[in-house]
Structure 1
Amino acid sequence: MTHDTLPQFMRDRGALRGVTVLDLTRVVAGPYCAMLLADLGATVIKIEHPADPDLTREFPPLHDEDGEPVSGFFAQFNRNKLAVSLDLKQPDGRATFLKMVEKADVVIENFRPGTMDRLGIGYETLRKINPALVFTAISGFGQRGPNAARPAFDSSAQASGGLWSMNGTVEEPMRVGTVLGDLSAALYAAIGTLAALREAERGGAGTGSGQLVDISQQDSIVSLTENALVTYTATGKVTVPEGNGHPFVKPYGRYACKDGFVFFGAYTDKFWREACTVFGDTELANDPDTATMAKRFLPENYRRKVDPAVRRWLAEYTKAELEAMTGDRFPLSPIKGIDEVVDDPHLRERDMVVPVRYRGTTFDVFGNPVKLSNGTFEHGASAPVVGQHNDAVYRSWLGLSESEYAALRAQGAI
């Protein structure tokens, strides 16, 4: 978007250069969304209460820096951001935020619905100040609906969105072992924000083309349940956990090898023939009970011939040997621990492990999966301390006078 000359600390290159984001979020879903935009070149200003900042500043893993704990968790989700402190409950703090909204393109928040309205800075208020504003709201159950006001965490979304009931085993449904409700909501929020920004830009300044982007963690999880919803609506069948297998694609799952486990997925006719060739099993390749995908899918054929053969093949080799043997001939992937992931040369080459500086400490964190030929900004990134950029943002960008800035400090509003 078009602004006056940008202050020196704002990005002058990158896909989202010139886009200013006010980040009011905490924990994971909102911070991750804002971090993705920052990696892509947006100027993201993280706004925290001066006495009650983002609680993940104290989340593990922690390094000791001069006797103070420094959080790698916070660094990972808040790199490439500027940070200011601001008490939105104070009248002057609220007034300062409204001035910031006039100059911003995006506001991202992940409070419970109604919180922003109670603070006097809800979407309807902000759109009057900046009609082109994109207001992205991330919450457990969305901004409307009978459950909108309910508190939620990641597990709330996994439970209410159906994913928990599908994962694990029939005897013990399990939560997915990462905060998928938060992470998926962050990704959808980033997509929605960029789409709304595109419309605001197309409409031009002063056209009132901004909008509310409403992201629900529960909605996000429902969209990740693959074919479970349509299977139920079409057939009445309720999807249950399949463990490490697949409900109808076979062979496709976890298999043991000499030093651990691999994923083996050679279920198409082409891949199956390649697997039989690699493992020297010409008899099985020509067996009429296993020669076609449809035949291999039949439970009896899979149980008697396919599954035992695959288990026999893989048990003779290590993960590294299997990966080297199969190459690009058919899908086989070692099931890697995070230590192996960090050391993976392919991921290293793709910049998926990058260093981030935070309070004198360097953490290796995950990179940005979005790869642009003109580059992104995760390399050389740092995460800010509370209020680190107060002077730069309030004086240089917002244009507060020395006396106005001093008054905010004296009142404890920043």
Structure 2
Amino acid sequence: MVNEKQATGSGISGSGPLKGLTVLDITRVVAGPFCSMLLADLGATVIKVEHPDDPDYARTFPPFVSGDDQQELSAFFAQFNRNKLGITLNMKSEEGKTLLKKLVRRTDVLVENFRPGTMDKLGLGYEVLKQENPRLIYTAISGFGRTGPNASRPGFDNSGQAVGGLWSMNGYPDRPPVRVGTIIGDLAASLYAAIGTLAALREAERSGEGQVVDISQQDSILTLTENAVVRYTTKGEVASPLGNEHPFVRPYGQFPCKDGYVFFGGYTDKFWKITCEIFGEPEIASDPEIDTMEKRFDKAVSERRVRPILERWFSRYTKAELEALAGDRIPLSAIKTIAEVVEDPHIAAREMIVKVPIAGKLVRMFGLPIKLSRTPGNAYAKAPAPGEHNGFVYSRLVGLTSEEVGELAERGVI
């Protein structure tokens, strides 16, 4: 069972490098919540704002964890909203607009992921809010960004993968393109949003002025296409699905073994020579047909000579045995299932699987990948229930009494 401190923890005081930073998070699902989660993990006080009658629908996403009261809570939601305070606010009501403006006066950052123009229609766009707080960093995440002919289009993760070029490159050459198997558009946009927010905060420290951080999923995906852009602009080559192959580096890809697959990337002359030695055939390194990196890059030569050699070697061993043979001498890694990753001793040593309270239980989920030596960040606290911290936040930041908070709740303002 979770102790009382764990079950009621909220990251309220904050610890870590961003302690003292206050963030209003009015985002939903992942593109936005992941950004503010990173800030919360690093010590910021993040206040998740939800509509009192229409909370973040990611709360309905599986998998669920059942508490002692039989209430089911979403582990998906908890993973991206841990360490946050939770309040409710109807920004369509006049009283709600006024409350948001008052919150903004005491806030460093506001993160939103509405379609561009939505906040302006509510009378709560950046030009309005900066009048309340000139230092405000206004971080906006959307499918296509705040400018350009497609700015008003709705966008999801798949939209970003489609229009950013990544979808067209993924899959196998003889089959239709395949989307990347995770919401990489949402995640990439959130990562860039966090970087942009911190850069804008640094500038605000110097100038005293905030600004808009404009993040597009399409832009974010485009930057993940590796060499595709320069291949096209310099050579006119259009990237297409390559399966598990690299466009020009070989051997560098997926190879079968006794109990699954491994990645092997020993394409340099140094690594190739060591690999031949490890597998007991050092003479292959001096074979005149494949003795240089340039020769092994040739696709026909690679398929006819190099791949059969590697498959013959690897087929004798399991993934674990191959990793043990490779050690720190050559780049060879087991292609692990999520189950294997979660139980990986190295992942454990890096504290990348952490226990977060959900429904009175501790649930394992991914941790913070940013490792700071002196100021590591917050302990992992539970995600808030809708409006759980209304009393605390509205009293601390706005100065409302408990009676006033109760009246606003009765009227559906919060």
Q: TM-score, normalised by structure 2?
A: 0.95
Map 1:7-406 to 2 at 5 A: 10-11=12-13, 13-65=15-67, 66-170=69-173, 171-204=175-208, 209-377=209-377, 379-406=379-406
Alpha carbons 2:256, 2:311 under 8 Å: kept: yes
Residue identity matched to 1:37: L
> Partners of 2:131 and 2:372 in 1: how far apart?
35
Alpha carbons 2:170, 2:179 under 8 Å: kept: yes
Q: Tell me by how many angstroms 1:358 deviates.
A: 2.5
Q: Tell me by how many angstroms 1:303 deviates.
A: 2.4
Residue identity matched to 1:250: R
Q: Which residue of 2 aligns with 1:408?
A: 408
> Partners of 1:25 and 1:358 in 2: how far apart?
21
Residue identity matched to 1:147: N
Structure 2 residues without counterparts, runs of 5 or longer? 1-9
Q: Which residue of 1 aligns with 2:7?
A: none
Q: Which residue of 2 aligns with 1:5?
A: none
Give SS of 1:226's match. coil
Residue identity matched to 1:57: R
Q: Tell me by how many angstroms 1:12 deviates.
A: 5.5
Alpha carbons 1:142, 1:215 under 8 Å: kept: yes
Which ranges of 4 or more aligned residues in structure 1 deviate by more than 6 Å? Answer: none
Q: Tell me by how many angstroms 1:382 deviates.
A: 1.4
Structure 1 residues without counterparts, runs of 5 or longer? 1-7
Q: Tell me by how many angstroms 1:116 deviates.
A: 0.6
Q: Tell me by how many angstroms 1:288 deviates.
A: 1.7
Give SS of 2:229's match. helix
Residue identity matched to 2:51: H
Residue identity matched to 1:21: V
Cα RMSD of the aligned pairs, angstroms, is 1.4
> Partners of 1:189 and 1:306 in 2: how far apart?
43
Number of residue pairs matched by the alignment = 403
Identity rate, percent: 59
Alpha carbons 2:14, 2:45 under 8 Å: kept: no
> Partners of 1:143 and 1:169 in 2: how far apart?
34
Alpha carbons 1:109, 1:137 under 8 Å: kept: yes
Residue identity matched to 1:213: V
Alpha carbons 1:228, 1:239 under 8 Å: kept: yes
Give SS of 1:362's match. strand
Alpha carbons 1:263, 1:334 under 8 Å: kept: yes
Alpha carbons 2:72, 2:359 under 8 Å: kept: no
Alpha carbons 2:78, 2:383 under 8 Å: kept: yes
Q: Which has the higher mean CA deviation after the structures are superposed, 289-298 or 78-87?
A: 289-298
Give SS of 1:29's match. coil
Q: Tell me by how many angstroms 1:295 deviates.
A: 1.3
Q: Which protein has greater RCO, CA pairs closer than 8 Å, 6+ apart? A: 2
> Partners of 1:72 and 1:12 in 2: how far apart?
22
> Partners of 1:243 and 1:322 in 2: how far apart?
23
Alpha carbons 1:273, 1:285 under 8 Å: kept: yes
Alpha carbons 2:15, 2:42 under 8 Å: kept: no
Q: Tell me by how many angstroms 1:377 deviates.
A: 3.7
> Partners of 2:367 and 2:375 in 1: how far apart?
12
Give SS of 1:330's match. coil
Cα shift readout 1:353-381 (whole Å, capped 9, x = no counterpart):
00111232322110111111124345342
> Partners of 2:358 and 2:98 in 1: how far apart?
30
Q: Tell me by how many angstroms 1:202 deviates.
A: 1.4
Alpha carbons 1:64, 1:70 under 8 Å: kept: yes
Q: Which has the higher mean CA deviation after the structures are superposed, 184-193 or 389-398?
A: 389-398
Alpha carbons 1:75, 1:363 under 8 Å: kept: no
Give SS of 2:287's match. coil
Q: Which has the higher mean CA deviation after the structures are superposed, 111-120 or 379-388?
A: 379-388
Residue identity matched to 2:64: L
Q: Tell me by how many angstroms 1:411 deviates.
A: 1.3
Alpha carbons 1:368, 1:378 under 8 Å: kept: no
Cα shift readout 1:80-112 (whole Å, capped 9, x = no counterpart):
000001111111111011000011000000011
Alpha carbons 1:81, 1:383 under 8 Å: kept: yes
Residue identity matched to 2:166: L
Q: Which residue of 1 aligns with 2:3?
A: none
Q: Tell me by how many angstroms 1:11 deviates.
A: 2.9
> Partners of 1:95 and 1:80 in 2: how far apart?
26
Give SS of 2:127's match. helix
> Partners of 1:63 and 1:402 in 2: how far apart?
32
Cα shift readout 1:148-196 (whole Å, capped 9, x = no counterpart):
1111110000011100000001222100000000000000000000000
Cα shift readout 1:216-254 (whole Å, capped 9, x = no counterpart):
000000000001011101111101111001111000000
Alpha carbons 1:44, 1:80 under 8 Å: kept: yes
